[in-house]
Chains A and B, each alone.
Chain A
Amino acid sequence: MSPLLQGVLTIIIGVGGCIGYFYFSNILLDKVFFPDSGKNAARNITRANRVRPWLFLFPAMFALSLYLVYPVVGSFWRSLFNRSGDEFIGLGNYMGLLDSPDFHTAFFNNLLWVVFVPAASTLFGLLAAQLTDRLSWGGIAKSLIFMPMAISFVGASLIWKFVYAVDPDIGLINALRDFFGMEPLDVLQLAFWNNFFLMVILVWIQTGFAMVILSAALRGIPEETIEAAILDGAGPFAVFMKIKVPQIMGTIVVVWTTITILVLKVFDIVYTMTGGNFGTEILPSYMMSFMFRDDGRATAVAFVIMLVVLPVMIWNIMQARKEMK
């Protein structure tokens, strides 16, 4: 069967199955298990209403537990075994990682990414949001800066491969160097700094995201606070730094953490641009280098990523709970 046909069939089965499940399970509940007529009608309705939320939740909870909760446990468990998975070696894989210089490189580079990408994206996003705010063509400008969000990391990497190409007739950077009479340079092989050339790609993508959210937050600032500051003689720069930024600090933090989480997951850029060579490995790409070869190591790296994400996760949950109260 061709995959396309299989796809159509899956949509029908999937969607039909969902509707069928919800429809018939509700009927079953109301008519068979707890009939809403007869002598216990009132009690049955209460009972049915107690069960119903779980009917609604069941498919989602099942999928979430299987595809996201179980893997956390399963990965950790697997990471305690050796390469072939038949011998329990405790923290052996983690010890192996600590001894491996490649892991150190990946971890250190990832720290650079986590510091630089969210900072630069948020900064540029804030700048773009503020500058386009009252501009007549601000909408178009925002659209264009936002556009890279739609492009895949692989596509974006290819776009930037052109920019970084060594040939001065292809790569813009080397064309500029050539113009000023300098020798062509492969920026992707430039030790240490090549990491930043890779980060630029993600900053290019994420600035639009930061801009859109911060722009909405800027719009939400009460006009009176700004007017009052202007009447008190504050210049545009002071208004921005002392009135606007403090008021949207909460949003800035959200944007910052969202991008931080993303940084810890993106393996595509490093994989496509350098394949992790020239000292550009980061944890997600390092994990993929073990995938299909050494599941013990791969899951150990994945779990390290999880540990790094954990504080943000806890913080997110605490924020969510605070809002609900």
Chain B
Amino acid sequence: MDNMAGQKSGLVIATNLSVIFMVVLWLIPTVGLLVSSFRDRDQISASGWWQAPFSVELAFRTRADDGEPQLIDGRYVIEGNIFETEEVQEAFAEGEGTITAFGTRGAEPGQFPAGTEGETRDGDLVTINPDGTYIYSTAEEPGRRAPRIYFQADTPAEFTLFNYRTILGSAGMDRAFINTLTVTIPATIIPILIAAFAAYALAWMQFPGRGILIAAVVGLLVVPLQLALVPLLKLHNEIGIGQSFLGIWLAHTGFGLPLAIYLLRNYMVGLPRDIIESAKVDGATDFQIFTKIILPLSFPALASFAIFQFLWTWNDLLVAKVFLPSNSESWVMTVKIADDLLGSRGGDWGILAAAAFISIAVPLIVFFAMQKYLVRGLLAGSVK
């Protein structure tokens, strides 16, 4: 339609610009999370993720313990390099920063600009140069511990896997990941077969009450899950399943069936009648027709539903909270994040970002790899 009358080039530019604007708007939150997950904790609290590629001014404190005090003209003078002092050595191990300012009191770490001479309340004189070399001169003999110095330095942008290592190691996200996987895979596979048989019966077999059953499936599509929680948990407890993986697999299977039957029936009903009838004429039974003809032909619909169910069970919080045991051993990732990490590590943004990204990485891969089937399923499921 680009060349069609009524389409102005100004409009094309405006369209392009507004789409770019919208895409950026939609992407920014996720990009922020991704960038933050690779940033160092101090850098996160010192500058926004959008400034991540730039160096950050951080405040440090240390003691002037690089170099021995020497007596010069009645004063004790310590010369050395601030980056080599014990307390900050580690922070600058990978690359030195640039000193911007320094101070002698914690309340004012940036009291004096780098390269100038500052005086403490006790009359000590301090100079710290941008490259980190310092001269500390004091009238009294320094004690066992070298005098305190505070300084601010531009530290280069640093990207690290520290957050991921922490979250997967000590924080127990690895366990939650395995649990999520354990919940998801059986809960995706089991309903497919059950639904496929039922969908075939509803699409291609003649029997009284078929119309009512289809209507019932459509109705069940929208039953709020909230209704199922209390009675089913009670039922599970009574028959001995209790809160367990078996319980959540069964629950997800039941909850996923209406969509599965609906999607598959809609697809199967559209398969060419000729194939099925000629197979019947050749003496094939319904069971053979189903396994040899319908099932292979329905692959796209099966794939669509599998993706739906996978995303839904992977991302679910509600069912996992109710049907899985509430101990940390059985937490899936969503529960882990919502009930544990947000509380215990609420202010630790890097850790939270890494945890969130681990939990959304697999669905994102599935999404981009199988988008075609997802879209097809959505269309079959809602537009009719």
Contacts and interface: CB of A to CB of B under 8 A. Distances in A.
Given A170-B44, A172-B28, A158 B337 contact: yes
Contacts of B18: 131
A317 interface: yes
Contacts of A212: 375, 378-379
Contacts of A298: 229-230
B230 to A, nearest CB: 5
B382 to A, nearest CB: 5
Interface stretch (B79-87, B112-120, B165-173, B215-223): B215-223
A96 interface: no
Contact of A309 (B30, B224, B254): B224
A163 B213 CA distance: 46
Interface string A84-95: 000000000000
A74 to B, nearest CB: 3
Question: Taking chain B's interface residues, is the majority helix, strand, or loop, or is none over half, making it mixed?
Answer: helix
A15 B321 CA distance: 26
Given A57-B201, A162-B29, A204-B29, A64 B378 contact: no
A55 to B, nearest CB: 8
A26 B364 contact: no
A146 interface: yes
A68 B197 contact: no
Interface in B33-85: 33, 36, 44-50
Interface residues of B, number: 120
Interface in A56-82: 56-57, 59-61, 63-64, 66-72, 74-75, 78
14 contacts: A14-B186, A22-B287, A50-B207, A53-B207, A56-B201, A56-B290, A66-B235, A71-B230, A154-B315, A155-B334, A158-B337, A159-B33, A230-B5, A236-B7
Contacts of A204: 26, 29
A128 B18 CA distance: 9
Given A135-B15, A146-B371, A155-B359, A324 B186 contact: no
A198 interface: no
A97 interface: no
B222 A268 contact: no
A170 B353 CA distance: 12
Contacts, number: 347
Interface in B336-373: 337-338, 342, 349, 352-353, 355-356, 359-360, 363-364, 366-368, 371
Contacts of A168: 48
A151 B315 contact: yes
A265 B2 contact: no
Contacts of B352: 158, 161
B26 A152 contact: no
A162 B1 contact: no
A287 interface: yes
B227 A72 contact: yes
A41 to B, nearest CB: 14
Interface in A116-173: 124, 127-128, 131-132, 134-135, 138, 141, 143-155, 157-163, 165, 167-170, 172
Question: Taking chain A's interface residues, is the majority helix, strand, or loop, or is none over half, making it mixed?
Answer: helix
B72 to A, nearest CB: 43
Contact of A71 (B30, B44, B227, B337): B227
Contacts of A207: 26
A67 B368 contact: no
Interface residues of A, number: 120
Contact of A303 (B227, B257, B363): B227
Nearest to A201: B29
A209 B311 CA distance: 14
A138 B23 CA distance: 10
Contacts of B261: 60
Contacts of B321: 288, 291
Interface in A278-321: 284, 287-288, 291, 295, 298-299, 301-303, 305-306, 309, 312-314, 316-317, 319-321
Interface string B188-220: 011001110110111001110011011111111
A323 B384 contact: yes
B220 A69 contact: yes
B182 A3 contact: yes
A169 B46 contact: yes
Contact of A236 (B6, B27, B222): B6
Contacts of B229: 71, 291, 298, 302
A37 interface: no
Given A14-B189, A135-B19, A150 B366 contact: yes
A42 interface: no
Interface in A1-20: 3-4, 6-7, 10-11, 14-15, 18-19
Contacts of B23: 141, 144-145
B227 A67 contact: no
B315 A152 contact: yes
A202 interface: no
